[in-house]
Amino acid sequence: MTTERVATVVGDLVNRINDAIAKHEVTYDEYRAAVNYLIRVGEAGEWPLFTDVFFEHTVEQLNQGEGGTIMGPYYVPDAPWLERPYVLPMREDEKGDPLILSGTVRSTSGDPIPGAVLDMWQADADTNYSNIQQEPPPFNLRGKMTTDENGEFEVRTIVPPYYHLPRGGPMEELLKAAGWHDFRPGHLHFIVSADGYTPLTTQLYFEGDRYLDSDVASAVKPELILTLREHDSPEEMDARGMTKPFFTTSHEFRLKPAG
């Protein structure tokens, strides 16, 4: 970043914070509480959480726009490459409703993209992310796969429920103090990439989720909401080799040509 850019952006930010302080006649006690709070956010390691909840959606909208959304703080590189038929790594008794997601990766002009990479991650049914929270084994519900010669893919996983942000730290304290809830709708995360295209970071949500309209991270877009179809007949379960009712849904990812 150039000196001019830093001076322009940081200068504007500082002016706006000063304007808010003046507008709301912030007292010395409030100012000291705020400074102490910001120090505690750092001590608790919650800056990525804090910034992704409050600001990432604006940066994302400017840089990706339609079809994309925020990455959030829980991406981990080096997820395992999966073999077809794709199933996200999971425990034998993984909780949650089974989900089969199929779809296509296309260019923005509609051409299917064979060999596109989908790097996928999600929370488990208890709302824990592997490699972040203690409980799930490493790389549980994280994996990489590619589209076939028609630009298509299919992966089996579970439907993640809506969840609340980590509690017990400064983030929860602030949300409670403001009377705001700390929930995100259930979602699947993706980074979709292919040679010659700009990678797309996005998430997919589920129709009917109670937090679609009030995501604490402001990251839901209408084009990212999946409709689930339930399959509960013995014939359907047999045909798919499933031992319990499952859901299917599909989505089309669109990549912009690079450059």
Angstrom distance (rounded) from CA 72 to CA 90: 22
Of 36-44, 59-67, 68-76, 234-242, the window that binds ligand BEZ (rule: CB under 6 A) is: 68-76
Joined together, the tokens standing for residue 42 give: 């750092």
Angstrom distance (rounded) from CA 155 to CA 86: 5
Smallest CA-to-CA distance from 100 within 211, 254, 205, 230 is with 230
C-alpha of 108 from chain center: 22
Q: Does 72 bind Fe ion (CB under 5 A)?
A: yes
| Residue whose pair of structure tokens reads 């203690």 in the numeric block | 134
Over the window 128 to 167, marking each residue x when it contacts ligand BEZ by CB under 6 A and - when it does not, the resulting string is -------------------------------------x--
> Shortest distance, CB of residue 109 to Fe ion, whole angstroms?
30
Select the residue interacting with ligand BEZ from 49, 100, 118, 120 (CB under 6 A).
Answer: 49
> Shortest distance, CB of residue 239 to ligand BEZ, whole angstroms?
33
Q: Does 73 bind Fe ion (CB under 5 A)?
A: no
Residue 254 contacts by C-beta under 8 Å, 6 or more apart in sequence?
67, 105, 106, 107, 108, 200
Joined together, the tokens standing for residue 75 give: 């991406």
Joined together, the tokens standing for residue 9 give: 């952006």
Angstrom distance (rounded) from CA 89 to CA 138: 10
> Shortest distance, CB of residue 154 to ligand BEZ, whole angstroms?
23
Instruction: Using the minimum distance from each CB to ligand BEZ, give the nearer residue, 202 or 249.
Output: 202
- Look at residue 156 and give the partner it binds from ligand BEZ, Fe ion, none, a contact being a CB closer than 5 to 8 Å depending on partner kind: none
Instruction: Using the minimum distance from each CB to ligand BEZ, give the nearer residue, 72 or 89.
Output: 72
Neighbouring CB atoms inside 10 A of 205's CB total: 24
- Look at residue 186 and give the partner it binds from ligand BEZ, Fe ion, none, a contact being a CB closer than 5 to 8 Å depending on partner kind: none
List residues near ligand BEZ by CB under 6 A: 49, 52-53, 70, 72-74, 165, 184, 217
